[in-house]
Structure 1
Amino acid sequence: MFKKKIDPLKLTSYVLLTLGLIIVVLPMFYMVVSAFKDNDQVFAYPPKIIPSLSELTLENFKYVFDNSPFITYFLNTIFVALMTVLISIIVSSTLAYSFARLYIPGKKIIFGLVLSIMMIPGLALIVPQFELAVMFKLVNNVWGVILFYVAWVTPFSTFLIKGYIEDNIPLELEESIQVDGGSIFTVYKNIILPMTSPVIASISILNFLFPFEELGWSTAILKTDKYRTLPVAITMFFQSHGRTDWGYVFSMTTMAMIPVLIIYILLQKFFISGLSSGSIKG
């Protein structure tokens, strides 16, 4: 029997994908494993990627819970993430529907201004944003983080949802509801929201992740442990110890990673389809 000929292009693709997977997963795997080591083992040379069971310990996690209000940080971050997702979805979906379907004078110019905000790093506006936060008494308040996060993520979310609406929702479907007496709010509630669920799920993952990785603004606005989120808490953990105890840091980051992984696992089937469909057309 003849052996099946191997496609060089396909083989190259598999090799590159495997290398990419190793590059992405290995640091995460090392972080999780190191969270269960004591600091002497973390700094051992040569590093031991896969330790024996006898070398694993929960002391790092116990130390974090005993010496920091980790639960408060964790719940603050979850609350900020959920509110950012919820508010940004409402704002961006209504904006996207308006830009995609409604007649608005100067709509293209307004949409262009919305997209231009995507090109400006959030930290570039930290001074005027801080002045606004002071003006509205949002300093040292989780809402001072949430509202500005929503402002940062809304342009990209609007761009994706608008493209998804134009590419995947027939205009005739909306017109048939309006002919039957339905308002634009009926169309939005019964057609737009259900049919854009794949792209909404995709941007929900990205927006949920954002508070778990953003540091600059949250550090500037949150001043006490009562309101701090995990990125700020980990930074404060560095400073309070005067040295880098990587076992403790890895244990905190490992626990911080859990909710993000859960959200991704629950919504992963929508992630690729939503991003690819929504980004084709703006």
Structure 2
Amino acid sequence: MINETRRSRVLLYAALAVFALFALVPYYWVARTSFLTNFAAIDPSVGIIPALENITLQAYGRIWEQFDFVTFFRNSIVVSISATVISLLFSIPGAYAFARLDFPGRKLLFYTAVFTIMFPWIVITIPVYEVFFVLGLINTLTGIIIALSIFVLPQTIWLLQGFFRQGIPENIEEAALIDGHTEIGAFLRIVLPLSAPAVGAAALFAFLTAWNNFLWVFVLTSDEDVRTATVAIHFILGSDVLREWNILMAAVVLLVAPPVVFYGLSQRYVGEGLGGV
């Protein structure tokens, strides 16, 4: 019996190791290519682990200097953080209202918000563009932030509403009201601090959605000054560096780094926040 259990465990770990290797190889290949010279990146004789003479930081230097990636990177940070903050400012009270308050049209409004998550964004690109054109928000960071905030909002409302409804017992608020707190005071001083894990998870998903968004930035911008890094890679891919794979992979590594760091910092909150949904 012990041998069978040990054998099953070994097989399980072996299967997990194969799966992890299969999943991590593409990421390793991206990072490997970004540190190679342009010739070594396309040379089939270069091994899986390249020699030291083939490793260089040249691609990262060129992506910053030649293609002004610092501007695109800064725009991505500004847009993503702003959209995350704005969506949380509206979704936290909105989700709490959907979870706790009873008002006319509550279910209709909530399911309408949830439905927009499943709605394909590509279908409404033309109406959205026309609205933003009339408002003078084309080719502006303000327009991008507003667009991403609007489309991130239903996602954060859905996530936080589930946590407020299932993760926070109602008797906590009742006890706060008995102690003399107002409803707003009970929410700000008791419910909101207890909801920090869910807010952290919602912030992470909002940030990732805004950071990785391509469609709305591509539709609402044509000036390089307001492009984000995600859209900039698209234009780099179609430029004269089509075969300079080391530069493209360096851009991908730089694009992936902030979400990875953000996830690492908020990993504990994400697990706790999703546990209450």
Q: With the length of structure 2 as denominator, give the TM-score of the two structures.
A: 0.92
What do the CA deviations read for 1:56-96 (whole angstroms, capped 9, x no partner)? 01111121122111111111100111111111112111111
- What is the CA-CA distance between 1:10 and the residue it aligns to? 4.7
- What is the CA-CA distance between 1:12 and the residue it aligns to? 5.0
Aligned residue for 1:150, secondary structure, equals: helix
Displaced runs of 4 or more, over 3 A: 2-5, 7-17
The residue aligned with 1:269 is 268
Relative to 1, partners in 2 of residues 1:163 and 1:87: Cα closer, same or farther, differing over 3 Å?
A: same
What do the CA deviations read for 1:150-190 (whole angstroms, capped 9, x no partner)? 22222121111111112121211112223344333222321
Relative to 1, partners in 2 of residues 1:19 and 1:145: Cα closer, same or farther, differing over 3 Å?
A: farther
Relative to 1, partners in 2 of residues 1:109 and 1:267: Cα closer, same or farther, differing over 3 Å?
A: same
- What is the CA-CA distance between 1:36 and the residue it aligns to? 0.6
Report how many aligned residue pairs link the two structures.
Answer: 277
Aligned residue for 2:104, secondary structure, equals: coil
**One-letter amino acid matched to 1:147:** I
- What is the CA-CA distance between 1:106 and the residue it aligns to? 2.1
Relative to 1, partners in 2 of residues 1:168 and 1:211: Cα closer, same or farther, differing over 3 Å?
A: closer
The residue aligned with 1:92 is 91
The residue aligned with 2:122 is 123
Relative to 1, partners in 2 of residues 1:11 and 1:116: Cα closer, same or farther, differing over 3 Å?
A: farther
Contact 2:197 2:270 in 1 (8 A): yes
In structure 1, C-alpha distance between the alignment counterparts of 2:84 and 2:12, rounded to whole Å: 35
Match status 1:202 vs 2:192: no
**One-letter amino acid matched to 1:263:** F
- Matching of residues 11-26 of structure 1 within 5 Å: 11=10, 13-26=12-25
In structure 1, C-alpha distance between the alignment counterparts of 2:126 and 2:46, rounded to whole Å: 43
Contact 1:178 1:184 in 2 (8 A): yes
In structure 2, C-alpha distance between the alignment counterparts of 1:155 and 1:89, rounded to whole Å: 10
The residue aligned with 1:79 is 78
- Matching of residues 103-118 of structure 1 within 5 Å: 103-118=102-117
Aligned residue for 1:89, secondary structure, equals: helix
Relative to 1, partners in 2 of residues 1:194 and 1:6: Cα closer, same or farther, differing over 3 Å?
A: same
Contact 1:123 1:217 in 2 (8 A): no
Contact 1:69 1:225 in 2 (8 A): no
Percent identity over the alignment is 25
Contact 1:76 1:228 in 2 (8 A): yes
The residue aligned with 2:248 is 249
Relative to 1, partners in 2 of residues 1:10 and 1:102: Cα closer, same or farther, differing over 3 Å?
A: farther
Contact 1:77 1:229 in 2 (8 A): yes
Which stretches in structure 1 are left out of the alignment for 5+ residues? none
Which stretches in structure 2 are left out of the alignment for 5+ residues? none
Aligned residue for 2:187, secondary structure, equals: helix
- What is the CA-CA distance between 1:250 and the residue it aligns to? 0.7
What do the CA deviations read for 1:89-133 (whole angstroms, capped 9, x no partner)? 121111110001112112112211111111102222111111111
The residue aligned with 2:177 is 178
- Matching of residues 90-239 of structure 1 within 5 Å: 90-239=89-238
Relative to 1, partners in 2 of residues 1:144 and 1:47: Cα closer, same or farther, differing over 3 Å?
A: farther
Aligned residue for 2:226, secondary structure, equals: coil
Relative to 1, partners in 2 of residues 1:157 and 1:182: Cα closer, same or farther, differing over 3 Å?
A: same
Please identify, of 92-101 and 187-196, the stretch whose mean Cα deviation from structure 2 is larger: 187-196
The residue aligned with 2:57 is 58
Contact 1:81 1:208 in 2 (8 A): yes
- What is the CA-CA distance between 1:239 and the residue it aligns to? 2.3
In structure 2, C-alpha distance between the alignment counterparts of 1:205 and 1:50, rounded to whole Å: 34
In structure 2, C-alpha distance between the alignment counterparts of 1:156 and 1:212, rounded to whole Å: 15
